């Protein structure tokens, strides 16, 4: 690759007239005429105008002082719970409003005063200053390179190859200790993402579906056609009281175990597999979106579409929760449900696929 | 007698002249320890050019300072803990509800600590303004070519500050552990899980086990208040040292050259203006925080993984990442017992790439021009049409993706179909930037043509004259020499040409692919159709002295 090929294509450097201030007396109409003469401001020539500007600046600083006093007074006097109506802001905290406005005025006036002072009373004569090239000249460059070479030669770094190579090797490896030390940040994933509390359910030891809001076990007739019912796992061997909000690991558990139940006329269910997993048209799907894991909360009863509010993945619940729009990559997992002797909805096995967002090890 | 001489020898008087007053004495004291005179000699009257757009960088600096000041205040009250408590405070709607200490202490800051709500709001508002100002500041530098040698490294520093600013904003947003921030963290978990091979491991190490666990808030807190701000502070100082060292760029104009800088001295004018401006910015943000509420976490409630609020929106600067993730089709590849979640992984990779495209631009441009000289005079955007058009195209892509990220808001506010917006964004991300590129480039060329017209034929005066033979003409006034100089002083590159097929000896030359690409790009940037040749002195003389000039 030749760099030099373009050198003559670079634009010409500027006209040599960088002796600013000189009026170019060439016949070149585009030449730099130099810095324009300074135009005095009103305050430069009229002492009365200057005095007025001075008073304006002081007034702003004075307002700032008053505002700070107002800030302290508001802090002491206004009850934090007090709500006031201010048009057009509506009902807002009186303390927040008073503190913010007084602080705002106190700060703004200092700034406005300083800027006004600079603009009206300080000199506005523009001055030129020389720039110096950033790059060192050739002599300095040669000198430094020479010094470096001397240093490098004295270290023997280039000559003693074995030292050099082992040094590079050790430096390359030593940061690994830092990476290894991060290992205990958390446990290994193992199969944890594949299982939920529902996996504990067996035909011999089923788990009841418990209404999320009422904490009561659900019967099939509790699930109305066209409504969305949220459920969580009831008592199981490892959690005899069922999943409770007071449980220490409630957040982790509910992030995987949450169910949404809907009821569809059995004839309207398009997917035979999905129909078989339900009970008389009651279907239990994971509430956790398979995209990146938001809980799904919007259900359209006419179409049986469920919409995730985060990125609008839309699932057709009458067709095995197939994705019909949006960025999710696979259907919502479904839970096989039936009823026990007393008519309560129960699960006898886990979800038909891992719940939540996809991950590398996910096989289903 | 001998004793007095020896005393004198032990403490010889300083050779320095007596200080005239206390202030001089204090300065002398400091100079003896810190060498302040030599430091101040070069800098006290250092020249700063004046242009309104230079304040954009100042806004970044000042909001950063405001964020640090308010952030320190907030750490005094905030408890970065996921320990569970039952809320019992002055915000009645949440009384008796279980929540994390992080969320409870955020409520406490908002309702019980006097002024706490104000500081929280200032912190958040300043963060929003900070990122916005960095964006606009960077655009200013980009469109004026201020990133060229010797400032490329400072461009990178600035880019890193923007990137870290994004990231720290996201972390800060996540700390209160409210319903909205928890949803953001869930998003992050899903994105991490989409990483092939190591995703689940990173997720488990980050969360200390399964999502959400109890470690995430304290961990984010340390990163948000210590690690990232520390790095940013270092970058910022380096950025400013370089600004100081390089001196400001300036616009072309009479008396302004590549070898000087024209403006006002640091002391007093710049000090007063810049110092004053800090207070203006702080004052405005304080007033904004008093009247406009941002992120009212109490309205969302504590985070629970099975609940969500409908307007789940990140802060605007994360909006384009949100847009990428929303409009991406849900592609998943399943093979050999593994799942590759392209629908999430591709946006995850594109997000930084869209940003990095801007970071590397200075190096690409300087490679194409082959220009190794220093540049201190700014380009007018119209005089670099390809660069300007590229920048505009990038911004349009950003905006298209942002509208994808807010598709639900757009749909409800303008009564549009959400699906249509998503389809539009899918196509628009590819089409809109191209259209914007073409339009912007033409626009620039039009402006260049108009400048040329003005230089050669003068400015339209609006005065209509009737000539003796009855024709009406508009009188054009010659521009003063200052204007002529300003309008014609910009540089114009010529496209690189490939070396001749054969060298002097008639031997075929090998031209590498790199050289060819470079010539192509250079042709695209500076060839015909990418710039209007600027008027020459001869053209001007011919028109002004010749007849037919009106
Ligand atoms: S998490 Fe449901 S669409 Fe993204």
Query: Is residue A293 within 8 Å of residue A356, measured between CB atoms?
Result: yes
Closest alpha carbon within chain A to B544 = A29
Q: Does B41 touch chain A (CB under 8 A)?
A: no
Ligand 1 centroid, distance to A277 Cα (angstroms): 24
Which pLDDT does position A207 carry in this prediction? 93
Q: In Å, what is the CA distance from A60 to each residue of A53, A123, B162, B237?
A: 11, 21, 35, 32
Could you tell me the pTM of the whole model?
0.90
- pLDDT grade, residue B39 (50/70/90)? confident
Range A68-91 average pLDDT: 91
Asked if B269 lies within 8 A of A122 by C-beta distance, the reply is yes
In chain A, what percentage of residues exceed pLDDT 70?
A: 93
ipTM score of the complex? 0.86
In chain B, what percentage of residues exceed pLDDT 90?
A: 47
Mark which residues 147-186 of A lie under 8 Å from B by CB.
182-183, 185-186
Query: Is residue B239 within 8 Å of residue B158, measured between CB atoms?
Result: yes
Q: Does B374 touch chain A (CB under 8 A)?
A: yes
- Six token digits for residue B306: 């099975």
Q: What angle do CA B400, B404, B408 make, to 5 degrees?
A: 140
Question: pLDDT tens-digit profile of A49-63?
Answer: 999 999 999 999 999
Calculate the CA dihedral of residues A121, A126, A130, A135 and round it to 10 degrees.
90
Q: Find all residues with CB under 8 Å of A200, minimum gap 6, and list them.
A: A207, A236, A237, A238, A350
Mark which residues 95-114 of A lie under 8 Å from B by CB.
95-101, 103-114
Containing H/E element for B264?
Answer: strand B260-265
- pLDDT grade, residue B10 (50/70/90)? low
Whether ligand 1 lies within 6 angstroms of the CB of A291 is answered as yes
Distance CA B289, CA B119 (A): 8
Asked if B290 lies within 8 A of A230 by C-beta distance, the reply is no
Asked if B209 lies within 8 A of A186 by C-beta distance, the reply is yes
Asked whether the CA dihedral A120, A122, A128, A132 is positive or negative, the reply is negative
Question: pLDDT tens-digit profile of A322-338?
Answer: 999 989 999 999 999 99
Average pLDDT, chain A: 88
Which pLDDT does position B49 carry in this prediction? 86
Question: pLDDT tens-digit profile of B203-219?
Answer: 999 999 998 888 999 99
Which pLDDT does position B12 carry in this prediction? 66
Q: Find all residues with CB under 8 Å of B113, minimum gap 6, and list them.
A: B77
- pLDDT grade, residue A165 (50/70/90)? very high
Question: pLDDT tens-digit profile of B115-165?
Answer: 999 999 999 999 999 999 999 999 999 999 999 999 999 999 999 999 999
Which pLDDT does position B11 carry in this prediction? 64
Closest alpha carbon within chain B to A260 = B306
Q: Does B121 touch chain A (CB under 8 A)?
A: yes
Containing H/E element for B257?
Answer: none
Distance CA B524, CA B547 (A): 38
Query: Is residue A126 within 8 Å of residue A35, measured between CB atoms?
Result: yes
Tell me the best of A286, A327, A357 to mutate to test the pocket of ligand 1, counting ligand atoms within 8 Å of each CB and taking the most: A327
In chain B, what percentage of residues exceed pLDDT 70?
A: 96
Ligand 1 centroid, distance to B89 Cα (angstroms): 34
Which pLDDT does position B13 carry in this prediction? 64
Asked if B305 lies within 8 A of A3 by C-beta distance, the reply is no
| A293: region left, alpha or beta (phi > 0 left; psi from -120 to 50 alpha) | left
Distance CA B86, CA B78 (A): 16
Asked if A100 lies within 8 A of B291 by C-beta distance, the reply is yes
Which pLDDT does position A15 carry in this prediction? 47
Mark which residues 25-84 of A lie under 8 Å from B by CB.
28-36, 75, 80-81
| A205 min Cα distance to partner chain B (Å) | 26
Q: How far apart are the first and last CA of chain A?
A: 52
Q: Does A235 touch chain B (CB under 8 A)?
A: no
| DSSP type of residue B225 | I
Residue B312 clears pLDDT 70, i.e. is over it: no
Distance CA B216, CA B24 (A): 54
Q: Does B529 touch chain A (CB under 8 A)?
A: no
Question: pLDDT tens-digit profile of A197-248?
Answer: 999 999 999 999 999 889 899 998 888 888 889 999 999 988 888 898 888 8
Question: pLDDT tens-digit profile of B477-530?
Answer: 888 888 888 898 888 888 887 777 777 777 777 778 888 888 888 888 888 888
Question: pLDDT tens-digit profile of A13-37?
Answer: 544 444 444 444 467 888 888 888 8
Q: Does B474 touch chain A (CB under 8 A)?
A: no
Q: What is the DSSP string of B298-325?
A: GGT-B--TT---TT----GGGHHHHHHH
Q: Which of B191, B306, B405 to mutate to test the interface with A (most CBs of A within 10 A)?
A: B306
Asked if A310 lies within 8 A of B338 by C-beta distance, the reply is no
Q: Does B540 touch chain A (CB under 8 A)?
A: yes
Ligand 1 centroid, distance to B214 Cα (angstroms): 23
Average pLDDT, chain B: 88
Q: Does B506 touch chain A (CB under 8 A)?
A: no
Q: Which of B92, B111, B149, B210 to mutate to test the interface with A (most CBs of A within 10 A)?
A: B210
Name chain B contacts of A192, Cβ cutoff 8 Å: 204, 210
Name chain B contacts of A57, Cβ cutoff 8 Å: none
Which of the pair, B6 or B305, is modelled with greater confidence? B305
Q: Which of A118, A184, A196, A303 to mutate to test the interface with B (most CBs of B within 10 A)?
A: A118
Question: pLDDT tens-digit profile of B62-108?
Answer: 999 999 999 999 999 999 999 889 999 889 899 998 899 999 999 99
Residue B415 clears pLDDT 90, i.e. is over it: no
Which pLDDT does position B460 carry in this prediction? 83
Whether ligand 1 lies within 6 angstroms of the CB of A329 is answered as no
The number of helices, as runs of H, and strands, as runs of E, in chain A is 8, 13
Range B25-30 average pLDDT: 92
Q: What angle do CA B536, B538, B544 make, to 5 degrees?
A: 105
Tell me the best of A258, A288, A292 to mutate to test the pocket of ligand 1, counting ligand atoms within 8 Å of each CB and taking the most: A292
Whether ligand 1 lies within 6 angstroms of the CB of A289 is answered as yes
Cis bond leading into B268, ω under 30°? yes
Q: In Å, what is the CA distance from A221 to each residue of A171, A282, A306, A353?
A: 69, 9, 21, 27
Containing H/E element for B233?
Answer: helix B228-246
Q: Does B501 touch chain A (CB under 8 A)?
A: no
Asked if B255 lies within 8 A of A30 by C-beta distance, the reply is no
What is the position in ligand 1's atom list of the atom closest to the CA of A312?
3
Which pLDDT does position B528 carry in this prediction? 83
Whether ligand 1 lies within 6 angstroms of the CB of A287 is answered as no
Asked if A362 lies within 8 A of B338 by C-beta distance, the reply is yes
Query: Is residue B221 within 8 Å of residue B101, measured between CB atoms?
Result: no
Residue spans of alpha helices (H) in chain A: 42-45, 47-77, 94-120, 138-155, 161-173, 175-181, 250-257, 272-277
């Amino acid at each position: 690759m030749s760099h030099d090929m373009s050198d003559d294509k670079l634009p010409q450097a500027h006209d040599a007239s960088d002796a600013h201030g000189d009026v170019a007396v060439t016949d070149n109409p585009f030449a730099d005429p130099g810095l324009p003469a300074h135009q005095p401001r009103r305050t430069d020539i009229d002492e009365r105008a200057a005095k007025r500007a001075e008073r304006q600046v002081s007034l702003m600083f004075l307002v700032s002082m008053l505002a700070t006093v107002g800030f302290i007074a508001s802090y002491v006097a206004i009850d934090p719970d007090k709500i006031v109506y201010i048009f057009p802001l509506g009902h807002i905290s009186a303390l927040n409003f008073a503190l913010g406005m007084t602080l705002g005025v106190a700060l703004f006036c200092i700034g406005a005063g300083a800027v006004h002072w600079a603009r009206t009373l300080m000199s506005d004569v523009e001055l030129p200053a020389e720039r110096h090239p950033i790059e060192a000249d050739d002599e300095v460059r040669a000198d430094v390179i020479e010094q470096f070479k001397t240093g490098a030669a004295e270290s023997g770094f280039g000559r003693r190859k074995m030292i050099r190579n082992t040094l590079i090797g050790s430096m390359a490896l030593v940061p690994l200790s830092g990476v290894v030390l991060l290992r205990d940040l958390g446990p290994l994933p193992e199969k944890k993402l594949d299982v939920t509390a529902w996996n504990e359910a067996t035909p011999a030891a089923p788990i009841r579906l418990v209404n999320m809001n009422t904490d009561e076990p659900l019967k099939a007739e509790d699930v109305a056609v066209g409504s969305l019912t949220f459920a969580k796992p009831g008592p199981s061997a490892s959690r005899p009281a069922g999943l409770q909000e007071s449980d220490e690991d409630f957040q982790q558990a509910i992030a995987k175990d949450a169910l949404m139940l809907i009821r569809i006329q059995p004839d309207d269910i398009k997917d035979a597999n999905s129909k078989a997993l339900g009970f008389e048209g009651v279907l239990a799907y994971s509430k956790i979106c398979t995209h990146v894991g938001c809980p799904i909360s919007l259900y359209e009863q006419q179409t049986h579409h469920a919409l995730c509010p985060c990125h609008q993945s839309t699932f057709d619940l009458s067709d095995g929760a197939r994705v019909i729009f949006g960025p999710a990559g696979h259907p919502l997992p479904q839970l096989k449900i039936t009823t026990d002797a007393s008519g309560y909805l129960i699960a006898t096995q886990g979800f038909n696929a891992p719940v939540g967002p996809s991950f590398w090890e996910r096989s289903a | 007698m001998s004793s007095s001489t020896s005393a004198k020898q032990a403490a010889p008087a300083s050779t320095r002249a007596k200080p005239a007053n206390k202030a001089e004495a204090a300065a002398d004291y400091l100079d003896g320890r810190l060498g302040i005179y030599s430091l101040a000699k070069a800098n006290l009257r250092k020249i700063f050019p004046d242009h309104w757009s230079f304040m954009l960088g100042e806004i970044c600096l000042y909001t950063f300072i405001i964020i640090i000041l308010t952030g320190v205040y907030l750490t005094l009250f905030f408890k970065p803990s996921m320990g569970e408590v039952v809320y019992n405070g002055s915000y009645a709607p949440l009384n008796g509800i279980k929540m994390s200490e992080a969320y409870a202490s955020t409520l406490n800051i908002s309702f019980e600590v006097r002024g706490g709500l104000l500081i929280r709001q200032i912190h958040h508002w300043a963060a929003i303004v900070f990122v916005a100002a960095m964006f606009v500041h960077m655009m200013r530098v980009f469109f004026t070519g201020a990133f060229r040698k010797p400032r490329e490294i400072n461009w990178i520093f600035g880019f890193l500050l923007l990137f870290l600013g994004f990231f720290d904003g996201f972390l800060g947003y996540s700390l209160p552990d409210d319903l909205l921030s928890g949803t953001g963290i869930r998003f992050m978990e899903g994105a991490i899980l989409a990483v092939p091979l190591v995703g689940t491991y990173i997720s488990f190490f980050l969360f200390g086990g399964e999502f959400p666990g109890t470690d995430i808030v304290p961990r984010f807190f340390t990163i948000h208040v210590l690690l990232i701000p520390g790095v940013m502070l270092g970058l910022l100082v380096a950025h400013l040292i370089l600004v100081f060292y390089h001196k400001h760029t300036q616009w072309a104009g009479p008396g302004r050259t590549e070898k000087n800088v024209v403006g006002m001295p640091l002391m007093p004018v710049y000090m007063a203006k810049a110092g004053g401006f800090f207070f203006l910015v702080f004052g405005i943000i304080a007033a904004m925080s008093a009247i406009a509420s941002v992120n009212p976490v109490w309205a969302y409630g504590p985070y629970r993984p099975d609940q969500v609020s409908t307007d789940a929106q990140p802060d605007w600067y994360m909006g384009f990442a949100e847009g990428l993730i929303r409009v991406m089709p849900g592609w998943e590849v399943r093979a050999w017992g593994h799942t590759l979640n392209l629908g999430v992984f591709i946006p995850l990779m594109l997000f930084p790439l869209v940003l990095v495209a801007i970071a590397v631009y200075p190096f690409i441009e300087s490679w194409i021009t082959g220009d190794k000289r220093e540049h201190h005079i700014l380009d007018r955007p119209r005089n670099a049409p390809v660069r300007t058009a590229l920048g505009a195209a990038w911004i349009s892509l950003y905006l298209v993706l942002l509208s994808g990220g807010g598709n639900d808001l757009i749909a409800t506010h303008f009564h549009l179909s959400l699906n249509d917006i998503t389809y539009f964004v899918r196509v628009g991300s590819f089409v809109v930037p191209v259209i914007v590129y073409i339009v912007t480039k033409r626009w620039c060329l039009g402006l260049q043509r108009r400048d040329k017209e003005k230089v050669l034929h003068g400015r339209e005066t609006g005065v209509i004259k009737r000539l003796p033979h009855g024709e009406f003409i508009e009188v054009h006034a010659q521009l003063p020499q200052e204007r002529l100089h300003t309008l014609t002083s910009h540089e114009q590159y010529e496209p690189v040409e490939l070396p001749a097929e054969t060298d002097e000896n008639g031997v075929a030359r090998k031209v590498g692919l790199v050289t060819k690409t470079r010539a192509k790009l250079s042709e695209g940037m500076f060839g015909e159709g990418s710039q209007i040749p600027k008027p020459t002195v001869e053209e001007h003389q011919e028109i002004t002295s010749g007849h037919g000039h009106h």
